[in-house]
């Protein structure tokens, strides 16, 4: 390994080394080109490129970041918040869409940028769409003749040929009412960013009307700016009312007077979880109950709005949402379920009856489902060959054995060509930065190298390769872990302080055989400074099956901390680890875990750093909190024993609290209420606030200050203790 040492500036800098690979990779509709976004000169500012698979020519399609094409707008608050909810750090061109009306027809390209929309027809230049300033969530119709978007809370549509005016298809938007925008809960917790959906023939738009007027306003004050501004958010707290949603259909050439409303049932306290059109033009939706234990896939008559239930699914203790619904031309469909304890695919007929199970076993289908109806094949990503890896598999719609198409150990993300003849494989591992190859779907053989980071290796960067390992808990559950320790630390014969890096929450996995594990530069910096860093995926985390995840049901912050303690005990057996000097840090759920760990095991954790922690679950949102905890009314004891606030007087370890004051996800109120409780109990703590940071600090100065503060705290309270 080289003796290169990281600086705190390196730790605070994005993008990480080796991560400037093409992103948002997609094939053009004719499967002849690969489109992708890539940072300009290693920065976060991206442009759109294509790679011609025949000529092997790369072409830059946009020059928006460079300023060669003027733009008039800036990010609206809605766009800023959407970026925050998708955890998007990238800048410049962050989205694009290609469509082709018919085979052989020219492509149309849509690029949203800086508050405006740009269009390009194949062979022509990129030009701004007139009167598109302020457009949000733009999408082309399937034939490319129209583009829809939301502006001022209303769904609007324009012709892509530039002829005619922008038409507004909905009405009634006001403070607390929007048409065509996904509500906060859908964006933040349900992985549904869309609030409208084009019909296959491009003549209709299904859209969501969201009414949040009954939800009290939650003010967020910008205290770090010259002039005070106040954002007002309608945030649905656990146990309180959600937004009321309706699902309507409007014709592209229609008006707000001609909306057909779908029948979502008599109970309006539901979640509109998924919406999709069948190839025959039938609109379908997945409707989930408030307690998330029942969901129905329904089909609507688009003329009357009448609903027909295709199937109903029930689950205990909850039903996790998925993105695996795929329709065949016959109306039959693919669906995935965790009814066996592990997520697997099944084929259903058009009436909603299960035809056959396609996958099974003690492993998970994790998504990226692609249907090749001509060949009667289904492609998907899964964990059959290990929970810390991802591979592409294929199975016949008729059932039978699976085939794995990605041979290299590690993590494979894939994009399959529309003609289902090839795929782009984005492969990475703890030793390999992302590498893109074109492969055959028939046998997985490499056909072309699209991208690799030459010369970027852990050794060249001076980084240790994290050791991925596993251990068994006292009750015989296997947990996966990663260890960061320099060679000097491992061989010096002197025990070194241990720092636990924790997230620990559901729907997340930290231990993966991926480059992102290696370029956790905070962990790497601490390892270079002589600390040992440990990560553990405790029970409650994702992709190990429902039983593993559901261990936290109705009682959070208990078994997760116990599993982290098991990790500390496991590592304490190594001669280079000093288990008497242990610290812990984490953000969001990880910040909550830090607080719980200090209160639950002060004899182990002498100091902790909690970023944006949840400190009382009644103060977090409905869909997430109630999935795991139920209602505050029916599980009052669970809410109390899972909180941090009631136990503030028991704090016996050193605690640093960090929070962004305009965080609209985990409000700074969580930290300030804890500060009040600690102060009232006469407890000591340290506090770092970022007045203009949201849930994910972005400003370089914020990030470098944060890293310096964290290291100084650990050195003072752990290394020098």
Q: Is the dihedral of CA 298, 299, 300, 301 positive or negative?
A: negative
Determine the 3-state secondary structure of 396 from DSSP.
strand
- Residue among 52, 49, 56 at smallest CA distance from 24: 49
Give CA separation, 135 vs 118, 174, 251, 414, in Å: 11, 17, 20, 30
For the beta carbon of residue 167, count every other beta carbon within 10 angstroms.
Answer: 16
Determine the 3-state secondary structure of 47 from DSSP.
strand
Sort strands 377-382 and 391-396 into parallel, antiparallel or unpaired: antiparallel
Sort strands 154-159 and 167-168 into parallel, antiparallel or unpaired: antiparallel
CB 556 within 8 A of CB 628: yes
Sort strands 344-348 and 333-337 into parallel, antiparallel or unpaired: antiparallel
Given 132, 422, 486, 588, the catalytic residue: 588
Phi-psi category of residue 695: left, alpha or beta, with phi > 0 → left and psi -120 to 50 → alpha: alpha
Catalytic annotation on 695? yes
Q: Which helix (H) or strand (E) is 17 found in, with range? A: none
The tokens for 135 are 């457009």
Written in H, E and C, the secondary structure of 219-262 is: EEEECCCCCCEEEEEECCECCCCCCEEEEEEEECCCCHHHCEEC
The tokens for 194 are 């869309």
Give CA separation, 323 vs 190, 250, 403, 490, in Å: 10, 25, 22, 43
Give the whole-angstrom CA distance, residue 31 versus residue 362. Answer: 35
Catalytic annotation on 663? yes
Given 541, 663, 670, 717, the catalytic residue: 663
The tokens for 220 are 């967020």
Give the whole-angstrom CA distance, residue 444 versus residue 404. Answer: 8
Determine the 3-state secondary structure of 163 from DSSP.
coil
- 235 contact partners, CB below 8 Å, separation of at least 6: 184, 215, 218, 621, 664, 667
Paired strand residues for 380: 393
Q: Which helix (H) or strand (E) is 110 found in, with range? A: strand 107-113
Give the whole-angstrom CA distance, residue 319 versus residue 288. Answer: 9
- Residue among 455, 448, 456 at smallest CA distance from 51: 448
C-alpha dihedral over 572, 577, 580, 582, to 10 degrees?
Answer: -100
Give the whole-angstrom CA distance, residue 643 versus residue 234. Answer: 23
Spatial strand order of the sheet with 478-484 comes to 467-472, 478-484, 532-537, 496-502, 577-587, 605-611, 654-660, 686-690
Give the whole-angstrom CA distance, residue 405 versus residue 419. Answer: 17
Catalytic annotation on 43? no
Phi-psi category of residue 7: left, alpha or beta, with phi > 0 → left and psi -120 to 50 → alpha: beta
CB 419 within 8 A of CB 31: yes
Determine the 3-state secondary structure of 484 from DSSP.
strand
| Residues forming the active site | 588, 663, 695
């Amino acid at each position: 390994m080289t003796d290169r040492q990281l600086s705190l500036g390196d730790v605070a800098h994005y993008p990480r080394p080796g991560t400037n690979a093409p992103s948002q990779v997609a094939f053009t509709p004719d499967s002849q080109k690969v489109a992708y976004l890539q940072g300009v000169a290693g920065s976060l500012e991206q442009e759109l490129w294509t790679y011609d698979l025949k000529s092997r020519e790369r072409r830059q399609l946009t020059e928006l970041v460079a300023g060669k094409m003027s733009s008039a707008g800036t990010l609206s608050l809605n766009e800023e918040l959407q970026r925050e909810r998708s955890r998007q750090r990238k800048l410049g061109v962050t989205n694009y869409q290609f469509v082709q009306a018919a085979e052989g027809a020219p492509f149309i390209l849509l690029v949203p940028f800086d508050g405006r929309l740009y269009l390009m027809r194949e062979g022509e230049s990129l030009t701004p769409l007139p009167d598109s300033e302020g457009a949000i969530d733009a999408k082309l119709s399937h034939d490319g003749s129209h583009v829809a978007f939301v502006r001022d809370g209303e769904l609007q549509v324009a012709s892509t040929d530039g002829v005619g005016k922008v038409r507004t298809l909905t009405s009634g938007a006001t403070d607390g009412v929007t048409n065509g925008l996904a509500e906060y809960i859908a964006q933040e917790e349900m992985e549904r960013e869309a609030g409208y959906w084009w019909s296959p023939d491009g003549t209709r738009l299904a859209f969501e009307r969201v009414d949040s007027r009954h939800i009290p306003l939650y003010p967020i004050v910008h205290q770090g700016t010259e002039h005070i501004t106040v954002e007002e958010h309608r945030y649905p707290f656990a146990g309180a009312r959600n937004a009321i949603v309706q699902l309507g259909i409007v014709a592209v050439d229609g008006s707000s007077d001609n909306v057909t409303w779908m029948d979502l049932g008599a109970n309006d306290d539901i979640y509109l979880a998924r919406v999709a059109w069948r190839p025959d033009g039938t609109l379908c939706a997945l409707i989930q109950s408030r307690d998330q234990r029942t969901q129905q896939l329904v089909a609507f008559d688009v003329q009357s709005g009448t609903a027909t239930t295709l199937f109903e699914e029930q689950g205990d203790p909850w039903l996790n949402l998925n993105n695996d619904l795929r329709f065949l031309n016959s109306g039959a469909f693919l669906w995935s379920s965790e009814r066996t304890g592990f997520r697997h695919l099944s084929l259903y007929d058009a009436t909603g009856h299960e035809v056959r199970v396609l996958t099974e076993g003690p492993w998970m289908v994790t998504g990226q489902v692609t249907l090749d109806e001509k060949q009667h094949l289904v492609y998907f990503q899964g964990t059959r060959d290990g929970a810390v890896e991802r591979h592409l598999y294929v199975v016949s719609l008729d059932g039978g054995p699976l085939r794995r198409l990605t041979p290299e150990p590690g993590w494979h993300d894939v994009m399959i060509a529309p003609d289902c003849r090839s795929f782009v494989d984005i492969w990475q591992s703890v030793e390999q930065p992302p590498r893109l190859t074109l492969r055959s779907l028939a046998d997985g053989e490499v056909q072309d190298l699209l991208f690799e980071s030459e010369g970027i290796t852990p050794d060249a960067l001076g980084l240790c390769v994290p050791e991925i390992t596993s251990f068994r808990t006292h009750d015989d559950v296997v947990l996966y872990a990663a260890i960061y320790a320099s060679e000097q630390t491992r061989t010096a014969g002197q025990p070194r302080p241990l720092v636990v890096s924790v997230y620990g929450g559901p729907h997340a996995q930290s231990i993966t055989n991926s480059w992102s594990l290696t370029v956790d530069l905070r962990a790497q910096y601490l390892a270079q400074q002589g600390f040992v860093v440990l990560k553990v995926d405790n029970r409650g985390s994702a992709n190990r099956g429902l039983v593993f995840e559901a261990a936290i049901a109705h009682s959070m912050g208990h078994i997760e901390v116990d599993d982290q303690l098991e990790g500390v005990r496991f590592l304490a057996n190594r001669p280079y680890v000093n288990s008497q000097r242990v610290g812990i840090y984490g953000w969001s759920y990880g910040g909550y875990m830090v607080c719980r760990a200090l209160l639950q095991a002060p004899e182990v954790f002498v100091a902790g750093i909690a970023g944006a922690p949840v400190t009382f679950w009644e103060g977090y949102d409905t869909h997430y909190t109630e999935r795991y905890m139920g209602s505050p009314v029916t599980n009052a004891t669970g809410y109390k024993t899972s909180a941090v606030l009631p136990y503030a007087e028991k704090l016996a370890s050193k605690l640093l609290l960090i929070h962004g004051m305009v965080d609209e996800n985990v409000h700074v109120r969580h930290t300030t209420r804890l500060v009040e409780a600690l102060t009232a109990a006469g407890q000591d703590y340290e506090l770092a606030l970022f007045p203009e940071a949201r849930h994910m600090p972005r400003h370089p100065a914020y990030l470098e200050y944060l890293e310096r503060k964290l290291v100084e705290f650990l050195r003072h309270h752990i290394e020098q203790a």
